Structure 1
Amino acid sequence: MSEDREKVLRAFLKDDRLVAIPTKAGKRRVLLEHIVTSFEPGVRLTEREVDAVLRAFYEPDWVSLRRYLISEGLMSRENGIYWRTGGPVDV
Structure 2
Amino acid sequence: MSHPSPRSVADLFSAEGRLVAIPRRPARREALLAHLAETLFDLGRVYRETEVNEALKTVHEDYPALRRYLVVGGHLARTKDGAAYHRQRTAPVPGGAAPAVA
| Bin for the TM-score computed over the shorter chain | 0.7 to 0.9
Cα 1:68–1:39 change in 2 (3 A) is same
Residue in structure 1 matched with residue 20 of structure 2 by the alignment = 19
User: When the two structures are superposed, what TM-score results if normalisation uses the length of structure 1?
Assistant: 0.84
Moved more, 61-70 or 77-86: 77-86
Shift of 1:30: 0.4
Shift of 1:8: 1.7
Larger gyration radius, structure 1 or structure 2: 2
- Superposed CA RMSD in Å reads 1.8
Mapped to 2, the partners of 1:46 and 1:69 lie a distance apart of 15
- Give percent identity, aligned residues only: 32
Which portions of structure 1, spanning 4 or more consecutive aligned residues, are displaced by more than 6 angstroms?
A: none
Instruction: Determine the C-alpha separation between the residues in 2 that align with 1:86 and 1:25.
Output: 21
Aligned-partner SS, 2:5: helix
Q: Is the 8 A contact 1:54 1:66 kept in 2?
A: yes
TM-score (norm 2): 0.75
Alignment CA distance shift 1:28-1:87 (3 Å)? farther
From 49, 52, 55, the counterpart of 1:53: 55
User: Which structure 1 residue ranges, 5 or more long, are not aligned?
Assistant: none
Q: Which has the higher contact order (CA 8 A, sep 6+)?
A: 1
CA spacing shift, 1:52–1:20, aligned 2, 3 Å: same
Structure with the higher helix share, 1 or 2: 1
